Structures are given as structure tokens and as C-alpha cells.
């Protein structure tokens, strides 16, 4: 028994020596072609949006990227992919579906609907905020249509997200912040 254990030890040391001759230290980055499993976390309320009606959204992500996705009730999403490109594409698609407006963040939004009191701006797909007429410009504005039309893109800053999820935006704050950043 002692002889067998000594032979096994010698064999193991020989294998380790050969491995070290080829690869001195662990690689800092995994090959982009190596299979990978990535876990991301989303808010529990957003799990419904990732799955979609009847699983349509999640099936679309799987078909487009070729990954395998497991969604847990607590918001954990496990993505198994055969390469880094597919994994990153799936993560990006899920992030776009689940992103939330951050107070103080500046977005390039699209004017979706113009009202007398302001305009509704889509800051990212599925998320709109109100740009009140008083937050359009430093100067007085009589009509929102004097400044922009539906479909126009403009910079807006998120001022507030109330407890009902309504987003209050400001164009003049976004422009002011960008101008001070250039100086």
C-alpha cells in the first residue's frame, strides 16, 4: 500500500511539473471561446418583463443569442453561453429590459407625446418621463411645439422618481450640466 501511494505521489508531482512548464501562472482572463456561466441580479418586479407574455421575451433572447437562461423568483438570472459574445449580448438585452431611471442621470430621450403642459419623453424603451414646460428652457416658453416636435431627440436629466414610478425630467438642467462639463 505504501509503495502504491508513493507511486501516485511521484506521478502527481510529475504531472504538476509538466503543467508548470507550459503555463507558469493562471491566466488573468478566460478565453473568449470558453463556455461560461454568468449570474446577474435584477429587481424582483422586473422578472416579469424578462420573461414576457407567455415567455415570448425570454425565448426571443435565447433564439437571438443561443444562450440558456434560468430565471429565479428572487431576481437571479443565470446565463449559460458557449462564448463571451453570446453571453454579453444576452446580458445587454436583459439590462435594456430591466433598467431603471436614476436620479441625476442624463439620458438622450425621444419626444413621444406633446401636451399643453409639457411633453412625455421616452428615456429608454418602455420608460417615459414628464418634461414640464417650465423645465424646457431658461427663457419663458408659450407652447411646447415652439421648441420641439414629436420624434425629436433631446438631452434630459432625471430630477425625481416618485413612489408611483413617475419620472420628472428637465432639459434645461441637462443642457446646463453639459455646458459646465465642457468648460
What CATH number is attached to the domain comprising 168?
2.40.50.140
Percent of the chain with pLDDT over 90: 48
| Burial category of 26 from C-beta neighbours within 10 Å (exposed 0-12, middle 13-18, buried 19 and up) | exposed
pLDDT tens-place string over residues 106-119: 999 999 999 989 99
C-alpha to C-alpha distance for 126 and 159, rounded to whole angstroms: 19
pLDDT reported for residue 12: 96
Q: Which helix (H) or strand (E) holds 134?
A: none
Which pLDDT band, with edges at 50, 70 and 90, does 183 fall under?
low
Q: pLDDT exceeding 70 applies to what percent of the chain?
A: 99
Task: Give per-residue pLDDT as tens, 12-28.
Answer: 999 999 998 888 888 88
Residue ending a domain, among 98, 114, 139, is: 98
Q: Taking residues 79-107, report their average pLDDT.
A: 89
pLDDT surpassing 90 at residue 89: yes
Q: Locate 38 and state its grid cell.
A: 454568468
List CB contacts of 28: < 8 A, sequence separation 6 or more.
none
Whether this model's pTM surpasses 0.75: no
pLDDT at 164 over 90: no
**Total domains in the fold of the chain:** 2
Q: What is the CATH number of the domain that holds 55?
A: 3.30.1370.10
10 Å CB burial of residue 155 (0-12, 13-18, 19+) is middle
Cα-Cα-Cα-Cα dihedral of 152, 155, 159, 163, to 10°?
50
What average pLDDT does range 49-75 have in this prediction? Answer: 91
- Calculate the CA 31 to chain-centre distance: 23
Rounded CA-CA distance 167/101 in Å is 8
Shared domain check, 112 and 162:
yes
Cβ 37 vs Cβ 80: under 8 Å: yes
Domain annotation covers residue 31: no
Residue 7 within any structural domain of the chain: no
Residue 176 domain boundaries: 106-182
Mean pLDDT of all residues in 89-115: 89
The answer as to whether 43 is a domain residue is yes
Residue 138 has pLDDT above 80, yes or no: yes
Are 121 and 62 in a shared domain? no
Are 94 and 126 within one domain?
Answer: no
Mean pLDDT of 50-61: 91
Amino acid at each position: 500500500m505504501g509503495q502504491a501511494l508513493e507511486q501516485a505521489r511521484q506521478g502527481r508531482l510529475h504531472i504538476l511539473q509538466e503543467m508548470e512548464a507550459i503555463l507558469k501562472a493562471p491566466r488573468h482572463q478566460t478565453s473568449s471561446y470558453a463556455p461560461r456561466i454568468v449570474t446577474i441580479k435584477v429587481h424582483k418586479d422586473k422578472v416579469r418583463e424578462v420573461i414576457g407574455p407567455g415567455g415570448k421575451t425570454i425565448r426571443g433572447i435565447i433564439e437571438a443569442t443561443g444562450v440558456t437562461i434560468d430565471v429565479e423568483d428572487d431576481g437571479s438570472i443565470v446565463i449559460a453561453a458557449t462564448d463571451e459574445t453570446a453571453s454579453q449580448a444576452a446580458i445587454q438585452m436583459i439590462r435594456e429590459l430591466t433598467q431603471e431611471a436614476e436620479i441625476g442621470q442624463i439620458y438622450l430621450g425621444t419626444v413621444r407625446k406633446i401636451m399643453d403642459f409639457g411633453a412625455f419623453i421616452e428615456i429608454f424603451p418602455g420608460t417615459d418621463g414628464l418634461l414640464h414646460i417650465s423645465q424646457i428652457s431658461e427663457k419663458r416658453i408659450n407652447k411646447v411645439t415652439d421648441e420641439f416636435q414629436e420624434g425629436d431627440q433631446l438631452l434630459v436629466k432625471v430630477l425625481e422618481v416618485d413612489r408611483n414610478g413617475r419620472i420628472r425630467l428637465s432639459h434645461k438642467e441637462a443642457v446646463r450640466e453639459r455646458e459646465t462639463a465642457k468648460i
